Amino acid sequence: MHSALLIDEVLQLIFDFCSDLPDTEPKWTYAQLARCCRAWKDPALDRLWDRLNGVGPLLALMAKQEEDGQQVALDTSVLRTYTDRVRRIAHHDELKNAATLHMPPAVFPRLESVALSFQGCTVPHQWALSPFLQHVSVNVGFSRDVQEVLDRSNAAARLLHDIHTYAPDLRSLQVRGRMTDLLNAAVASFTQLRSLTIQGNSSLAPETFAAVATFPHLQSLEVHAGHLQAETFLEIVHPGMSCFPALKELSIRTGGDLLSAILSRMPTGVLTKLHLDMDECVHGPSYMKPILALLAQKASTSLRELHIEDRTDLEELEVPSRPEETPHWYTTDVLAPLARMKHLHRVVLRDPDFSDADLEALSKWWPALAHLDLGTYDPETHVPEWKARLTPAAYGAVAKAFPGLESLSLPVLPPTGGVEGQQRMLSSLTLGEVPNPSVDAVAIVDTILTMFPSVRYLDCPTTEVTERFETVVRGRGRISA
């Protein structure tokens, strides 16, 4: 053996590289390494048993052999040499036949993360408990048998109740699927959480959401709250009390009224990342202007990332009665309050109502912007006549107006000639489908690399374009063959 392999730091680093092997190869590799020599056994077994997808491997060790009708179990001390190494486990199935009567209160005493899904929600508690737990994920799942779903949800709630007692330092919780009253109450009890995801659809109780709003250390929240009413939320929350005092990242599906109620109660200068998934509104997003003004008031100095999605179908927008008026969409007028957001680093707003000239205005609003995603071109999408359109000249406008931009996506294809402007910071570009690649692929790639010579990553569903791009940049020596 080479002497370098006797240095623990070197050996650990080499073993870590094995985890990047595809599919099941890391497990097989670690199993072989553990058999090589004593020096390699422990670090290899640590990685082999670090994460379990079910308890099958452990049950295999506990397999019993019939000897004259007697059952002989594996020695507990031998079993602990493996269970002590497990840090993460996913339970997908029931463990009706698992030998739990003689198991310790925590089968995996150093467990840090547990994922429960479908029937795995009913796992015996000792298979999911540990004082070191940091992350729990619950996916109740679906079933044609409604009672089965309710039983899973209640079983998960009872386990969370024990986890609350057994692992007081739990930091992260994810809950997906039907939430019974017991599960709502369990979630509301975890006041120490730093990160919380709730995808319970309409089963998330307003009392639970109001309780979550008071969690003093919560920094990240992802929640489906489209069914919750602003009036109910404000009635439950104590008047004058600040909500989400430590929240830095918020991803929420909701309507305008609840969003306004939430923002009005949030502290100033804390929120850094906001993802809005707005419910459908046939009147258009003009209601968003005062909400964005409130957002600017609360987070003009702190917000770094803003992502706005809207579920409204453009074809379903209400048409104004006056012929000189047009339906309302995301124009610079609606977004004007965001001009105060001078520290925005990333903006995602797919298919807005922008013209080429609007891009220059955006550059003045957001001088620190590094990532701009306005969607991609789709030849199958119908664009209403009333809606403004970006033209291929928009790429030249971006090159001139955003000298610090690093990634870009526009709902229009680049020009095939007449290039104007050059920008040398852009490294990533996303395009939509190119309808006529046999004719335009070469010209589009040439335009991209002339206008943005530092681009190294091109994402495009049209194979001819990406292959042409890779050929050109490889020829220029910017990526390895």
Q: Specify the pLDDT at position 478.
A: 53
How many helical (H) and strand (E) elements, i.e. helices and strands, does the chain have? 16, 17
Q: Specify the pLDDT at position 328.
A: 79
Q: Which of 47-51, 97-101, 326-330, 384-388 has the lowest mean pLDDT?
A: 97-101
Going 340 to 345 to 350 to 351, the CA torsion angle's sign is: positive
Q: Specify the pLDDT at position 68.
A: 37
Q: Could you tell me where the DSSP H helices lie in 64-205?
A: 76-83, 146-166, 181-188
Q: What is the average pLDDT score of the chain?
A: 89
Split at pLDDT 50, 70, 90, the class of 10 is confident
pLDDT tens column, 89-141: 999 998 876 545 567 888 999 999 999 999 999 999 999 999 999 999 999 99
Measure Cα distances from 124 to 65, 99, 103 in Å: 24, 10, 11
Q: Specify the pLDDT at position 292.
A: 97
Tokens encoding 226: 């489209």
Report percent pLDDT > 70 for the chain.
91
Split at pLDDT 50, 70, 90, the class of 3 is low
Report percent pLDDT > 90 for the chain.
68
> What single DSSP character describes residue 65?
E
pLDDT at residue 387 tops 60:
yes
The domains found in the chain, sorted by start residue, are: 1-48 (no CATH), 73-172 (no CATH), 191-344 (3.80.10)
| Distance in angstroms (rounded) separating the CA atoms of residues 116 and 90 | 6
pLDDT tens column, 230-254: 999 999 998 878 899 999 999 999 9
Q: What is the mean pLDDT of residues 289-299?
A: 97
Better-scored residue on pLDDT, 385 or 186: 186
pLDDT tens column, 419-439: 778 999 999 999 999 999 999
Tokens encoding 475: 């020829």
Q: Specify the pLDDT at position 69.
A: 43
Q: Which of 78-87, 150-159, 407-416 has the lowest mean pLDDT?
A: 78-87
Q: What is the mean pLDDT of residues 283-300?
A: 95
Strands (E), 183-287: 195-199, 220-224, 249-254, 273-278
Q: Specify the pLDDT at position 322.
A: 65
Q: Specify the pLDDT at position 324.
A: 56
pLDDT tens column, 348-362: 999 899 999 999 999
Q: Specify the pLDDT at position 71.
A: 47
Q: Which of 28-37, 152-161, 292-301 has the lowest mean pLDDT?
A: 28-37
Cut 0.95: pTM above it: no
Q: Using CB atoms within 10 Å of the CB of residue 247, give its burial: 0 to 12 exposed, 13 to 18 middle, 19+ buried.
A: buried
